[in-house]
Amino acid sequence: MNEVYIDVCLALPEAHSCRELIPALLTEAGFSGFVDDEAGFHCYIEQSLFTEDAREIFQRAIAPAGESPIAILSEKEIANRNWNEEWEKTITPLRVSDKIIIAPSWHPATPAPGELVVTIDPKMSFGTGYHESTRLMIRLIEQYIQTSMRVLDVGTGTGVLAIVAVKLGGSSAIAIDIDEWTAVNGEENVERNELKGKIDIRHGDLAVVPESCFDMILANIQRNVILELLPEMIARLTPTGILLLSGLMVDDRSAIEQALDRNSFMTAQVIQENEWIGMAAHARRGS
């Protein structure tokens, strides 16, 4: 194909709260490729599709409410490429903890004794998910998971956290997400890790989980969503269950702890990487 594309390059740091959301919004506007390299975060769209309507969606995506607009570093015309091939070059095995390595199927990793490799092929339009909040959640799972725990993963995305939890000893997991793409991508990743039958991927919100008595609930999602869902998540935990939370910035800690307290929960641990935090919480003793 000789179609001309527009390459819009953004200054989008790894820690930015909209890093995962922007590709999803831009895909709906007609953008068909995203590549993150040393020059910046590239967003590609056919020139003929970069209409005024698409530009308006683009501007809204890079100027989220309550935040400064994301800087545009450059905008230029380029020839068509194999965007998937370009993107795959940026995804390589990543050590996320002392024990866990996440790797795509096209770039397998060989674990050392005592290490686990989790195979995750993320959908291109939605990024890799291997950011600070994912690493924080995995480190917390390593600390708190116990053999035969039943796990609920809220906002599962690629399914990575549910997969890690079961690989580390959890007996089973239900993993949910409101985004339709996760129903396909999550199932694919469950199969890649040979966990079919142990992890149930469901499309929807907590209404699709009538089950309760989970030993561990994972929620790597935005603060406002955590605050909204907190009572429902707590209601699905066993009395001794553990709640692991991330997708949170340092400044979110106070609001989350206040909400936990209102629900008779307390913080057991907070860990931090750059501006991101992960939290472990459980019921107050004697509650």
Q: What is the pLDDT of residues 196-225, one digit of tens each?
A: 999 999 999 999 999 999 999 999 988 899
H-only helix segments in 127-212:
132-144, 160-167, 180-192
Average pLDDT over residues 174-187: 87
Phi/psi at 241 (5° precision): -70, 160
Residue ranges of domains in the chain, CATH in brackets = 4-88 (3.30.70.980), 130-283 (3.40.50.150)
Q: Quote the mean pLDDT of the chain.
A: 88
* Residue 211 · residue 233 · CB < 8 Å: no
Order across the sheet with 276-283: list the strands: 199-203, 172-177, 150-154, 214-220, 237-249, 276-283, 265-273
The yes-or-no verdict on residue 1 having pLDDT over 60 is no
C-alpha–C-alpha distance, residues 5 and 45, integer Å: 5
Q: pLDDT of 124-157, one tens digit each?
A: 544 454 678 889 999 999 999 999 999 999 999 8
C-alpha–C-alpha distance, residues 214 and 204, integer Å: 18
The partner residues of 243 in beta bridges, in order of sequence, read: 217, 281
Alpha-carbon torsion angle 144, 145, 148, 154, nearest 10: 110
Percent of the chain with pLDDT over 90: 54
The partner residues of 10 in beta bridges, in order of sequence, read: 41, 72
Q: Give pLDDT, residue 127.
A: 42
Q: What token pair was written down for 206?
A: 């907590």
12: pLDDT confidence band, cut at 50, 70 and 90?
confident
Phi and psi based region of residue 138 (left: phi greater than 0; alpha: psi -120 to 50; beta: remaining): alpha
Of 151, 133, 149, 138, give the one whose Cα is nearest residue 225.
133
287: pLDDT confidence band, cut at 50, 70 and 90?
very low
